[in-house]
Structure 1
Amino acid sequence: MRSKGELEEAIGAGGRAVLVVNSRSRRGRRLYGTARRLLREAGLEFVHVFPVTEPGRLRELFADVLALRPDLVVVGGGDGTVAEAVGHLAHRDIALGVLPLGTTNNFARSLELPLDLPGAVRTLAVARPGGGKVADVDVGWFASTGDPQDGGAGGDREHIFANMISIGLSVKVAGSVPHTLKRVLGRPAYALTAAALLPRHEAFTARVTIGGETRELMTHQLNVANGAHHSGQRIARDASPDDRLLAVYRLGDERRLRLASATARHVLTGPWRSLDEDAFLTTAHVEIETDPPLRVDVDGEVRGRTPVTIRLRGNALRVIVPQGFDDT
């Protein structure tokens, strides 16, 4: 493995780069041509470009990407597209660059990337004034019950995640939000869908085990975050994908109205609250059981059900970030 500086130097000197753009993402189809033009103007040349019109093919496509032995893989799309890339690029001598073309762009926000296309492209041009740098950040690893991808061709990499594992109402929301509504409204589509589903949602018991100590709680929503954002909102002012911590937190208790008020508080106070507060449990390893067993959402994809084991893998992924990103 090269050092971060060596990899950055190789990329800046015109190293091998590959572009993957999900043209089915919220902005991917509309901005594909503009993105190609801005990348060319920034001096970024690619040995191959993969425009993806069938997101279900992303997994097999990355075998072709890796066969090109790139120094840099630029991925344009939403969190689902980026999450797929993270699983393939973690623990490799390759940097991931992100063009945030999705609805919430949680991973891009956690990396403190500009969300406008010109700003994101400028960050990718590491050799130019205003360009970014190569940093290494954490990823998560999970093992759930009945995971449909368990034992697949990707092996251990199939269990890596980028940003968030969720259990509860958000899993139903993700599977129910109308695609057209999401395309038109963006993030508010999730809130509207959650409001419609909440009156019929049943609370569950979660048993959270950290360091041999088990805590039992009732809630409608439980999250385990590696990144700093959820639903486009900051979790806590000191949360980071580079802090060697998983943040475990619930939204509300068994009362439905508490979920609504806790979600509003999460949105309004996230930029100011700290991971040291009682609302969070921070760890590098957590085990979660629920009664009843529930589906597990991993970066927007249902991956089995509880019980689930979640671990942190520190500094496992190399990414292009702004110069001001605190790389530890």
Structure 2
Amino acid sequence: MNRSACLIFNPVAGQGDSEQDLAMIRAILEPEIDLDIQLTTEEISAEELAHEAVRRGVDTIIASGGDGTLSAVAAAVVSTDISLGIISRGTANAFATALGIPDTIDAACQVILQGVTRTVDAADCNGHRMVLLVGIGFEAEAVERADREAKNRFGVLAYILAGLQELRNLHSFDVEIETEDKIIKTSAVAVTVANAAPPSSVLAQGPGGIIVDDGLLDLTIVASLTRAGAIAAAFHLFQTASAGNGAERNDIGYLRAKQFKITTEPPQKIVVDGEILGTTPVEIRCIPAGLKIFVPSREEEEAVEKLEGLPNLTIEEKPSPENSPD
């Protein structure tokens, strides 16, 4: 008996041919999965379709679109027992990258067919479900500047161009950060709280490695006072994160906690999983083990054996125990 799933498909995501994309998804999945295909429209959002699927009691939801679509569907699935499949077709594909999911249609479909799931954390930000991160200050301004037309023309480069343009307006603000056990007051140009984040989300990389199932959120503070300092801080974060190390500059701070309450003076825009959602103050709390998601099998995710290339290598297969002589 075939598995079944609700496929929520955004036909305007990305820069490819959506009809061909949908045809490819169906060709790969439908031999093994009965798909209930739901298309987003200007009137019906991915979030509405996902909530309706949850109400129907489906076992699996597959989301296909950009990061906005994927995050909206994931938000609806948080704290349910529904398995979530991801087929990323967006500009940045941050969602897939952060969770180790391939960002090509064929490979993403194969992950879903394998049926291996992993339970990861989610978060709540001012009443909105969050899977990736909330950016306060610089990142929120840059995301707002990277509009749909720019993303269609330049792809992921649109975010980089928007960030460079936003550097001209760089300004610091006073921030108070309250955790379960301390209150921190400082000045910053950007504060990022991450549940999960790809390497491209440089301003979230203070700890040098974000763990998606530890029941904690990772907060990074960038306090550079000049454009040159902000560029240097971003490059340092990229370097240290690539090496798996925490940042070491004096104008970068980071910490982990179960929840954060953040206030700023003056109020700052916030961006949650790529969408502008008002201004500070903001409260973010981790939802441990809040999301069950299809991921690559362990064998694909990390190598468990590597012997090729060793000098004078010989390998002898031992007989299995049941075939061993008494």
Partner of 1:181, secondary structure, is: helix
Letter in 2 for 1:23: P
Q: CA RMSD in A?
A: 2.4
Offset, 1:138: 0.2
Letter in 2 for 1:184: R
Equivalent residue number for residue 65 of structure 1: 53
The reply on whether 1:168 has 2:142 as its aligned counterpart is no
Q: So what's the TM-score if we normalise by structure 2?
A: 0.82
Aligned length: 294
Does the CA-based 8 Å contact 2:28-2:109 persist in structure 1? no
Offset, 1:26: 1.3
Offset, 1:292: 0.7
Unaligned regions of 5+ residues in structure 1, if any?
Answer: 1-12, 127-131, 144-157
Q: So what's the TM-score if we normalise by structure 1?
A: 0.81
Partner of 2:209, secondary structure, is: coil
Q: Provide the C-alpha distance between the structure 2 equivalents of 1:91 and 1:185, rounded to a whole number of angstroms.
A: 36
Q: Provide the C-alpha distance between the structure 2 equivalents of 1:288 and 1:220, rounded to a whole number of angstroms.
A: 14
Q: Provide the C-alpha distance between the structure 2 equivalents of 1:56 and 1:258, rounded to a whole number of angstroms.
A: 44
Q: Provide the C-alpha distance between the structure 2 equivalents of 1:56 and 1:264, rounded to a whole number of angstroms.
A: 40
Q: Relative contact order (alpha carbons < 8 A, sep ≥ 6): 1 or 2 greater?
A: 1
Partner of 1:229, secondary structure, is: coil
Offset, 1:31: 4.3
Equivalent residue number for residue 124 of structure 2: 141
Offset, 1:32: 4.2
- The worse-fitting range, judged by mean Cα deviation, of 17-26 and 262-271 is 262-271
The reply on whether 1:289 has 2:263 as its aligned counterpart is yes
Offset, 1:136: 0.8
Q: Provide the C-alpha distance between the structure 1 equivalents of 2:183 and 2:226, rounded to a whole number of angstroms.
A: 22
Equivalent residue number for residue 23 of structure 2: 36
Does the CA-based 8 Å contact 1:15-1:70 persist in structure 2? no
Equivalent residue number for residue 115 of structure 1: 103
Q: How does 1:176-255 map to 2 (within 5 A)?
A: 176-229=145-198, 231=200, 235=205, 238-255=209-226
Q: Provide the C-alpha distance between the structure 2 equivalents of 1:253 and 1:312, rounded to a whole number of angstroms.
A: 28
Q: Provide the C-alpha distance between the structure 2 equivalents of 1:102 and 1:300, rounded to a whole number of angstroms.
A: 12
Equivalent residue number for residue 52 of structure 1: 40
Q: Provide the C-alpha distance between the structure 2 equivalents of 1:178 and 1:296, rounded to a whole number of angstroms.
A: 16
Equivalent residue number for residue 8 of structure 2: 20
Does the CA-based 8 Å contact 1:176-1:193 persist in structure 2? yes
Q: Provide the C-alpha distance between the structure 2 equivalents of 1:232 and 1:197, rounded to a whole number of angstroms.
A: 16
Q: 1:48 to 1:38 in 2, by over 3 A?
A: closer
